[in-house]
Amino acid sequence: MRTQPNIAIVGATGAVGRECLAILEQRRFPHGVLRALASARSAGSTVNDRGTPRPVEELGQRSFEGIDLAFFAAGADTARAFAPCAVAAGAVVIDKSSAHRADPACPLVIPEINGDLLTPLRARPGVVAVPNCSTIVLLLPLDPLHRAFGIERIVVSTYQAASGAGAAAMAELEEQTRTVLGGGRAEPRVFKEPCAFNVFSHDSAIDGATGSNGEEAKMASETRRIWRDASVRVNATCVRVGVLRGHTESITVTLRRTATEAQVRAALAAGRAIRVLDDRAGNRFPTPLRATGGDEVLVGRVRPDDTQPNGLGYNLLVSGDQLRIGASLTAVKIAERLLGV
């Protein structure tokens, strides 16, 4: 791969695509040509690339000629249709959609945890999948505990922001908030339930046999795959909340080996891409507002779970910016690792 690869961003005008552009600039990612790609309705508009307006081109089968790295920040259908075109043109695809996450031939990567899987892609084109945002926010704080003590079981409840459903969902929350505060009634379009001033079960499809929704199933399957541990048990309940940006998760773990609270805190303090915010005296802990715009998952409310055998169970509360660490930042870190920067 070139030291300054030519890159394309598919879905450049969406929330995740714009965040990707901003992070590339902030981290001074070296690149040559930058091609902004989107649907026909966005073609002709512009996006900002390091202070320079870049025209948005309509995505097509020939959009990836001369491209080395293609960031896919669009939906799964778009990724399924056009990722093969990018690979055929010689590009490495970093897909932030759900299209390739369950494909055993496609590495599912959080760079801080299993970045070693990227090595083959340095020599040949292919696809790497960015995990589900809730999985990233879950595993970054748990990975140091998994490495130090092993993890047998995870019980997690999520409080997921509108940002997880894209720019249209964020706009809907803002619009509904204004409407309700003005005395009107929120009318949902993106979500099936009103988002403003509300909490509701995650909007992914429910499995009629298990009762789990798609988000919950992803968190379980992706955790086992990323950790390469088929035995870890994950019990997830995923919920949307009336928050614009930033996912929060309440986590209870069962360790494989006993640990003191001091040992758990020491492991967390040494973790990567996380920051412990656990001020009991000041009652200051992770919140989505504190996490927004940040490059770390905030970790707090660290305490033993007294319903489990002593030294095996611990509780955590975490928050992470879904658009950054849950999507675009992880994708850019994958690109940096591929490039060796």
133 counts as catalytic: yes
Q: Which residues on neighbouring strands pair with residue 34, listed in sequence order?
A: 7
Rounded Cα distance, 47 and 16, in Å: 13
Rounded Cα distance, 17 and 94, in Å: 12
Rounded Cα distance, 131 and 103, in Å: 12
Side-chain-facing half-sphere of 278: CA atoms under 13 Å: 18
Q: Give the pair of three-digit tokens for residue 72.
A: 């896919």
CA 105 from chain center: how many Å? 20
Smallest CA-to-CA distance from 72 within 327, 336, 272, 341 is with: 327
The amino acid present at 130, given as its one-letter code, is V
Q: Are 244 and 285 in contact (CB under 8 A)?
A: no
The residue written with tokens 């202070």 in the block is 51
Ramachandran angles phi, psi of 94, nearest 5°: -110, 105
State the catalytic residue, choosing from 85, 106, 133, 195: 133
State the catalytic residue, choosing from 31, 146, 202, 247: 247
SS3 152: strand
Q: Give the residue numbers annotated as catalytic, written as ranges.
A: 133, 247
